[in-house]
Amino acid sequence: MRIIYTYKKNRYAAYKAAYLHLGIDINLIGNTKDIKEDIKPYYLGLDKDLNEVYISNSGRNTNIFNNIILGLSNIYNEDIKTINFN
């Protein structure tokens, strides 16, 4: 399964949740203002259940992003879970 933490404006909350999910020290996040605003998932690591964890900007419309991810998961028969922080 792939887990994607998405954000629109609250970038820090999404990174903090993903780091806590992976068991990484949240003090390593640093300044989130320096992070690129690309709308594509960035791989962060594997959790203890071997799920791939990603983080992504959801763009202007979160519903469109979620529908694209859902469509891709149906095409490739993958389980993808999105967690939104807007």
Average pLDDT value for residue range 33-51: 84
Is the pLDDT confidence value at 73 over 90? yes
Instruction: Report which residue type is found at 4.
Output: I
> What are the structure tokens assigned to 29, written together?
């996040």
Please answer whether residues 52 and 39 qualify as being in contact, where contact means their C-beta atoms are separated by less than 8 angstroms: no
pLDDT tens digit string along 7-36? 988 888 888 999 999 999 888 777 766 666
Average pLDDT value for residue range 55-62: 90
Please answer whether residues 62 and 10 qualify as being in contact, where contact means their C-beta atoms are separated by less than 8 angstroms: no
Report the C-alpha gap between 14 and 10 in whole angstroms: 7
